A and B are shown apart, each in its own frame.
Chain A
Amino acid sequence: MKFVARLAFFGMLILGLTAPCYAEKIVVEGSTTVLPIAQKAAEVFMQKNQGADIAVRGGGSGVGIASIIDGTCDIADASRPIKESELEKAASYGRDIKAHVIAMDGIAVVVNPSNKVSALSKKQVADIYTGKISNWSEVGGDDQKIVVISRDTSSGTFEAFGELVLEKAKVRPDALMQASNQAVASVVARTPGAIGYVGMGFLSGSVKALKIDGVMPSRELVLTGKYSIGRPLFMYTNGSPRGLVKDFLDFVKSSEGQQLVEGEGFIALK
């Protein structure tokens, strides 16, 4: 019995010595789209790993990438691939930037279930959101005014929609701006002439998702790149990740981390 107790004691001692014990702090900075994933993942990771200190801040993809080049952050969050000019700058600073895809961002365009329109081209969606098309009859629907619902300008979904669909053109000024994906879905569900867009994770039976350029939005079609309103989300590091940076990235890419990704309304890679 004494032997077993000693064995257990030494076993625990060895386990204690080999368990990660962090004395470092890392800074994660960049895209406001990736921010909720990074925040949630950091929160859970720090709960599980005493001593790990992960500071997460936004600022935008460009800010994050500039910071990783300057060496003022350890992980740069980005909702777009790094630009050639940024890579050249990084190379001139002796940085070796590595990309890590951590999730996919997919957006579904939704209408009220009573709407007989079930498919639009990406250009038609852009024309609706910029005010060139304002009646459903112009796209094969009833003679009914289109009520445009959008996410508020500070949201990552708004940013993604602007880049992927509107090509950075302005949303019509009379669009009703909503603070969350749920709010968009809710307004569209109770407004017959409404059109809105939500993260793929927020699709429900109360709204009708439209085919875009002939493709129905689905998790799988975003992952295979066949659905056009989707994009990869990145975390960039300087060189191959090590220490806390590696452990944190491994966690984000793990099944548990990818569940958090789904929970934030994005598409998990696993």
Chain B
Amino acid sequence: MMRRVALVLAVAVPVIFSAVFNCVHAGEIDLLLEKLVDKGVLTPGEAQQIGVETKEQVKAEIAAGKSSSLPAWVQNMKLKGDLRLRYQYKHDKAANNYSKDTQIGRLRMRLGLDTKVNEKIMVGVGIATNSDGDPRSTNMTFGKSGDGYSTKMEIRLDNAYAKYDALPWLTIVGGKMLLKDALWEPTDLVWDTDITPEGGVLQFDKKLNSNTSLFMNTGVLIQTDDTSSDNDPVMMYIIQPGATYKINDSMSLKGAFTANIGSNTKGTAYPTGDWYKSSNTKNGSNWAYDYRTISPALELSLKEPFKAAGLDIENMKLFGEYVKNLAVSSNNSGFSLGFQLGNDKISKFGDWQFRYIYAMLEKDAVLDVTPDSDRYSGKTGMRSHEAALSYGLGKNTFLGLDVYRSWSLIGSRAPETLVQVDWNLKF
């Protein structure tokens, strides 16, 4: 026993030393173990056991921030980002004038880091390209920034938030957070995924058994600040209870019911930035209504759904959501229905994913600053087909083709076709 303890120490000390000073490499540890095996001090099995267990121990200590002279928050810092290059074609048949079709080049760059302040708290910060503070897009159009002619592009703070794991089943999030931290949605019918909401959210997550988990997101998302004017700030009070249920090894269901109690939009001036695409009912320069919505959503995931038919498709998802604005009596609902086929994640060459969504959103179903910015230019009062294909080119890089065909629900049909060809690179 003593011999084994001594051996573990003999190996562990240099391994931990290497983690601290980076001067002893993993290969050298293996070499040391090999020598001990050659000399008959250790059996190959013992060497394997000691080597692997020691490396695992070092990994665990680094994850817990225990084995370095550097502060834990530096050790735990993670830097990530992505670059997307896009060709975009848009055809607006409303004008019935093909010369007004637009073909543009765009890029999106995002850079984020997150780190742990301590065992319970993490902080995330992200910057991204952005034009005019647009909350729903981080694209920059070539030739458009400044006066054109390759003028420099804008970078803005995209997100900055803290997450506190208060209890195993409760996380508190505050700041300008990622949308997925505020709520879950199977499609971007109501919320564009580029939006980084501002406010505070409580996330409850409780695993009942190996098949069932319950979750609830609830919080306040602040839309405008409180000023000395007569109008109170525009707020959204969100509560989203939901559940995931694993039906069997190849089928699972996730569902949620979201209540978004928006307040004070009625009578408040709508935004005046270039990014704003007005489509809700207005009263002069103000919004005419409040937006208090309910939204049930469901997603069914199936692994290898067509295996019996000999088709090798890894994953299929069927999803849908419905939204209704209870504060308005007409033009107040919307829904989306869709499916996704292919690989769950695009991680290597040949991986693919196809997604189709049909969406309909009446004029006052949701506040017109939140829906997907690409679907009919981000307006409400529309219906739309979207078909998107992603294809893996290799590790961390894939091609995307996204096609929208949309129409207005108000007045003339004014169809719009949008085609986006993307080259995505993650780092």
| Nearest chain B CB to A70 CB, angstrom units | 6
**B76 to chain A: which residues have CB within 8 Å?**
88
A224 x B48 contact (CB < 8 A): yes
CB interface residues, B 236-251, toward A, < 8 Å: none
| Set B46, B57, B168, B348: member contacting A99, Cβ < 8 A | B57
| Nearest chain A CB to B76 CB, angstrom units | 7
Nearest B residue to A85, CB-CB: B63
Q: Is B113 interfacial (CB-CB < 8 Å)?
A: no
Q: Is A44 interfacial (CB-CB < 8 Å)?
A: no
- A interface, size bucket: 35 or more
Nearest B residue to A84, CB-CB: B63
| Nearest chain A CB to B425 CB, angstrom units | 21
**A72 to chain B: which residues have CB within 8 Å?**
207
B63 x A224 contact (CB < 8 A): no
B312 x A97 contact (CB < 8 A): no
Q: Is B101 interfacial (CB-CB < 8 Å)?
A: no
- The CA of A94 and the CA of B63, in the complex, are separated in Å by 12
**A71 to chain B: which residues have CB within 8 Å?**
168
| Nearest chain A CB to B315 CB, angstrom units | 12
- The CA of A232 and the CA of B47, in the complex, are separated in Å by 12
Q: Is A98 interfacial (CB-CB < 8 Å)?
A: yes
Stretch at the interface among B5-13, B37-45, B358-366: B37-45
**B53 to chain A: which residues have CB within 8 Å?**
99-101
Q: Is A92 interfacial (CB-CB < 8 Å)?
A: yes
Q: Is A223 interfacial (CB-CB < 8 Å)?
A: yes
| Residue picked from A84, A98, A99, most chain B C-beta under 10 Å | A99
Q: Is B49 interfacial (CB-CB < 8 Å)?
A: yes
**B52 to chain A: which residues have CB within 8 Å?**
81, 99, 101, 232
B44 x A220 contact (CB < 8 A): yes
Q: Is A164 interfacial (CB-CB < 8 Å)?
A: no
B45 x A223 contact (CB < 8 A): yes
| Nearest chain A CB to B382 CB, angstrom units | 39
B57 x A270 contact (CB < 8 A): no
| Nearest chain B CB to A73 CB, angstrom units | 10
| Set A70, A93, A98, A223: member contacting B57, Cβ < 8 A | A98
| Residue picked from B65, B207, B210, B348, most chain A C-beta under 10 Å | B210
Q: Is A195 interfacial (CB-CB < 8 Å)?
A: no
Q: Is B60 interfacial (CB-CB < 8 Å)?
A: yes
Q: Is B59 interfacial (CB-CB < 8 Å)?
A: yes
Q: A59-B210, A87-B63 are in contact. Are A92 and B116 (CB under 8 A)?
A: yes
| Set A70, A91, A97, A100: member contacting B207, Cβ < 8 A | A70
| Set A63, A87, A100, A232: member contacting B64, Cβ < 8 A | A87
**B314 to chain A: which residues have CB within 8 Å?**
170
A81 x B60 contact (CB < 8 A): no
**A91 to chain B: which residues have CB within 8 Å?**
60, 63-65, 119
CB interface residues, B 205-221, toward A, < 8 Å: 207, 210
B63 x A101 contact (CB < 8 A): no
Binary interface encoding of chain A residues 238-270 relative to chain B, with 1 for a CB under 8 A from any of its CBs, else 0: 000000000000000000000000000001111
| Nearest chain B CB to A170 CB, angstrom units | 6
**A270 to chain B: which residues have CB within 8 Å?**
43, 45-46
**B64 to chain A: which residues have CB within 8 Å?**
87, 91, 96
| Nearest chain A CB to B404 CB, angstrom units | 32
Nearest A residue to B30, CB-CB: A225
Binary interface encoding of chain B residues 20-32 relative to chain A, with 1 for a CB under 8 A from any of its CBs, else 0: 0000000000100
- The CA of A238 and the CA of B60, in the complex, are separated in Å by 11
- The CA of A20 and the CA of B56, in the complex, are separated in Å by 31
- The CA of A81 and the CA of B44, in the complex, are separated in Å by 19
A104 x B119 contact (CB < 8 A): no
**A59 to chain B: which residues have CB within 8 Å?**
210
- The CA of A101 and the CA of B46, in the complex, are separated in Å by 10
**A232 to chain B: which residues have CB within 8 Å?**
48, 52
Q: A63-B210, A90-B63, A173-B310 are in contact. Are A269 and B49 (CB under 8 A)?
A: yes
B48 x A92 contact (CB < 8 A): no
- The CA of A59 and the CA of B401, in the complex, are separated in Å by 37
Q: Is A82 interfacial (CB-CB < 8 Å)?
A: yes
Binary interface encoding of chain B residues 49-89 relative to chain A, with 1 for a CB under 8 A from any of its CBs, else 0: 10011001101100111000000000010000000000000
Q: Is B180 interfacial (CB-CB < 8 Å)?
A: no
**A99 to chain B: which residues have CB within 8 Å?**
52-53, 56-57, 60
**A100 to chain B: which residues have CB within 8 Å?**
53
- The CA of A71 and the CA of B207, in the complex, are separated in Å by 11
| Residue picked from B46, B49, B314, most chain A C-beta under 10 Å | B49
| Nearest chain B CB to A221 CB, angstrom units | 9
**A267 to chain B: which residues have CB within 8 Å?**
45
- The CA of A173 and the CA of B53, in the complex, are separated in Å by 38
| Nearest chain A CB to B320 CB, angstrom units | 28
Q: Is B165 interfacial (CB-CB < 8 Å)?
A: yes
| Residue picked from A63, A91, A104, A267, most chain B C-beta under 10 Å | A91
Nearest A residue to B66, CB-CB: A91
A92 x B312 contact (CB < 8 A): no
A101 x B48 contact (CB < 8 A): yes
Q: A94-B119, A96-B64 are in contact. Are A268 and B45 (CB under 8 A)?
A: yes
| Nearest chain B CB to A176 CB, angstrom units | 15
Q: List 6 A-B contacts (CB under 8 A).
A: A81-B52, A87-B59, A87-B63, A87-B64, A91-B119, A99-B52
